[in-house]
Amino acid sequence: MSDAIVEDYLRRITAAAADLPADRRDELVAGIREHIEAARSSGQVPDEASLRDLLDRLGDPEEIVATAREDAGPAVGAASTAVPAPPPVLRYRRPSIAIEVVAVVLLTIGSIIPIIGWLAGVIVAWTSRRWTTGEKLLATLVFPGGPFLALWLVTLVTGTSSTCSSSATIGPDGNSVQGPQVCTTTGASLPPALGIPLLVLLVVAPIAVAILLIVRARRRADAEPPIPVYAGEASGWGGLEIAAVLLLAVGGFVVPFAGPLAGLVCAWISPRWTTVEKTVATLIAGIGLVLPALVLLVVVSHI
């Protein structure tokens, strides 16, 4: 209904401007259309009444075109440069929540790289427009370091906390006699009854938060106006982009370093991705580069 009102208004301007040169007419209609879309996407036109009010304030199509007609005079002699017309819209796509997905992946799975992976997730999460400050705090505080840090810490604590030594002595018959077992506890040792639920909580809670945040981001993204896809830019995904993601995600495990680097190149030469998306890809590439390096380090230190 509201679209019909807008289209009708724009048609009236187009009709009134029939005597203007085509490029001037197109520019005028495009400007007014952009104005209406900007008002709508900023949420200032929630209903039909406010839309009519917006069109009222824009004014009578005849009056707008009359202004355009008068302008023909003073502009004579000025350099007439062809206005870059907006490329035609092919179709609309639903807004992507790539940033939010990357944030959540880094906060959970990314925390496998101690501190850095999780920290990258926090940074990405706080750039999101779709989460409230409360939700961003939730993402940050459940739990600092992410599930993998929790896992590592708990393993570390339970692994080193209780060292039991028994003083074995050789008895007169040559057999060893087991002395009284002495357990020394360093750090906080948790009984399994407490430790295991805690471990589950530390791992499950971040995943639950992740799912909640993704669901909310998706819902809010769907409430946003669809994003036009212009002629010349095909879909957001082509062979190049799929290759980039694959190389970035798993390339590092197949060919250390070279894999993610190739993915990085693929991502940055993509004509379809925006700079933000490419930056996100670069962050992921960081993980793909650091992780094999860590594995390599561990392997080397064991030899």
Partner 1 sequence: MEPGEAQNPLTQLRRGVLEYCVLALLTEDELYGFDLVRRLGENDGLVTSEGTIYPLLSRLRRVGWVTTTWRESDSGPPRRYYAITPSGRHALTGFAAEWSRFRTSVDTVLGSGEHRGEHRE
Min dist CB 78 to partner 1, Å, is 4
Q: Looking at beta carbons, which pairs linking 150-157 to residues 24 or more positions away fall under 8 Å?
A: 150/199, 150/202, 150/203, 151/199, 151/202, 151/203, 152/114, 154/190, 154/195, 154/198, 154/199, 154/202, 157/187, 157/188, 157/189, 157/190
Chain center to CA of 174: 69
Does residue number 27 form part of the binding site for partner 1 (CB under 8 A)?
Answer: yes
Q: How many residues does the chain have?
A: 303
Task: Return the closest-CA partner of residue 203 out of 153, 249, 158.
Answer: 153
Map residue 162 onto helix, strand or coil: strand
Q: Report the residue from 8, 11, 21, 31 that binds partner 1 according to the rule CB under 8 A.
A: 31
- CB within 8 A of 262, min separation 6: which ones? 247, 251
Please report, as residue ranges, which positions from 5 to 24 form the binding site for partner 1 (by CB under 8 A). Answer: 13, 24
Instruction: Summarize the chain as % helix, strand, coil (round to 5).
Output: 65, 10, 25
* 235 counts as binding partner 1 under rule CB under 8 A: no
Region binding partner 1 by CB under 8 A among candidate stretches 73-81, 145-153, 232-240, 263-271: 73-81
Contact between 233 and partner 1 by CB under 8 A: the answer reads: no
| From 53, 71, 222, 233, residue interacting with partner 1 (rule: CB under 8 A) | 71
| Smallest distance from partner 1 to CB 79, Å | 6
CA gap 17, 68 in Å, rounded: 8
Binding mask 213-232 for partner 1 (x = CB under 8 A): -----------xx-xx----
Tell me the two tokens of residue 218. 């998706």
Q: Is 186 in the site for partner 1 (CB under 8 A)?
A: no
Cβ proximity to partner 1: between 190 and 227 the closer is 227
* Residue with Cβ nearer partner 1 (48 or 63): 63
Q: Return the range that interacts with partner 1 (CB under 8 A); candidates 82-90, 117-125, 197-205, 237-245.
A: 82-90
The footprint of partner 1 (CB under 8 A) covers: 13, 24, 27-28, 31-32, 34-35, 37-42, 57-65, 67-68, 70-71, 74-75, 78-81, 83-84, 86, 89, 129, 224-225, 227-228, 274
